Structure 1
């Protein structure tokens, strides 16, 4: 039987255009830094408002990656 051990790290990412863009950017950055990224969970979303208009979108992500043997 094969076993694996995973770790979770928390990151935040921000975009001027959308939550989806912030999420994609965060996952891409995590995947370029961490090996074996297996999943992500959007833990929190936040919108910054300037002059009554959404000015940026921020997500807090829980990134799961499997540790090397």
Structure 2
């Protein structure tokens, strides 16, 4: 018997995650998803709301992202 496709009545939740990197915004996003994956199962995507850098003596020292991570609620 074939497996049934995912239920049409899927419920998702969104949680806010703020993460940083000293390398890049892309790395900050990756760090946030990696860390969120340790406690959230079923992550489906993320929306980066805000990006910020810290500057010291004219140089970027830290990249920060504020994102909303969407994950599917398990039954």
TM-score, normalised relative to structure 1: 0.94
Q: Which runs of 5+ in 1 are unaligned?
A: none
Between Structure 1 and Structure 2, whose CA radius of gyration is higher? 2
Unaligned stretches of 5+ residues in structure 2: 1-6
Q: Which contiguous aligned blocks of 4+ residues in structure 1 show a shift greater than 3 angstroms? A: none
Structure with the larger helix share: 1
What is the root-mean-square deviation in Å for CA atoms of aligned residues? 1.0
| TM-score normalised by the chain length of structure 2 | 0.87
Which of the pair has the greater relative contact order for Cα pairs under 8 Å at 6+ separation? 1
Higher strand share: 1
Task: Report the number of matched residues.
Answer: 69
